Structure 1
Amino acid sequence: MKTTMFKNKIVNIALLGGALGITLAAITPKTNLARAAVNPNTKVIEITAKKFEFTPSEITLKKGEPVILRLTSADRVHGFMSKPLKIDTDIPPDKTTDVAVTPDSAGGFTVICDHYCGTGHGNMKMKVTVVE
């Protein structure tokens, strides 16, 4: 793992060797994709944000099972934040944001948009259920 500056952000570069060559993966401090980069079989869940809603509005994860949440925005910058799940990232409209999550406790959790996006912003939530 090598740390370097890229567009005024410190990123860690993981070099992963393989039979077909070398893969570079940029891992920002907010998202840890090291485990996902090592295991290409990690489950990916696609989530779209748009004014006042996340689609899907509910997902179920398994405790201890790593997943990638692949986040996109259909209209503007939104936030994606849940302190218990250790998630806090932005979802810009022109990019895909991957967040690696491995839930460490079962229960019901709420993800909120933490970027004001209009009068319905307070209701922009997503339910995450983590099962044993």
Structure 2
Amino acid sequence: MNHQHKRRLLLAGVAAGGLAAATGLALAQSQPQERVIKIVAKKFDYTPGEIRLKKNVPVTLEFTTLDVVMGFSLPDFALRTDILPGATSRLRFTPDKSGQFAFHCDVFCGSGHESMTGTVIIA
């Protein structure tokens, strides 16, 4: 293979790579931007207690607790996790329906546990 032929192949590869990169950029721009929502659990409260999401936009819920082991359950989406002191728990999902959905602590965390609830609102 002569020098001119190698140079043409190299330039063709660079052009194709640039096209692939530009196509990848266009695809990335058409995808919904994932949100990360930080939620702090403490006896007997979630902050925030109301979470607003957009239908079909991926989201990661990041949980921490300030005191004891807690749980998080969003039954309408079959989501649940334990929330452990000193750790971050993550749930990633893409809401596929609109409406208001209740979530609650499903690990007994003391007297007052039953009031540890919140709402996810999806539009």
Asked if Structure 1 and Structure 2 have the same fold, meaning a TM-score greater than 0.5 normalized by the shorter chain, the answer is: yes
Unaligned runs of 5+ residues in structure 1 are: 1-38
Matches for 1:87-106 after TM superposition, within 5 Å: 87-106=79-98
Whichever structure has more helix as a proportion of its residues is 2
* Residue among 109, 112, 117 paired with 2:109: 117
- State the alpha-carbon separation in 2 of the partners of residues 74 and 105 from structure 1: 31
Calculate the TM-score normalised by the size of structure 2: 0.71
Residue 81, structure 1, aligned to residue 112, structure 2? no
Match of 2:119 among 111, 120, 127: 127
Amino-acid identity (%): 43
Q: CA deviation at 1:59?
A: 0.9
Paired with 2:102 and 2:77, the residues of 1 have a C-alpha distance of: 9
What SS does the aligned partner of 2:76 have? coil
RMSD of aligned alpha carbons: 1.2
User: How many pairs align?
Assistant: 92
Between structure 1 and structure 2, the one with the greater Rg is 2
Which contiguous aligned blocks of 4+ residues in structure 1 show a shift greater than 4 angstroms? none
TM-score (ref. length: structure 1)? 0.67
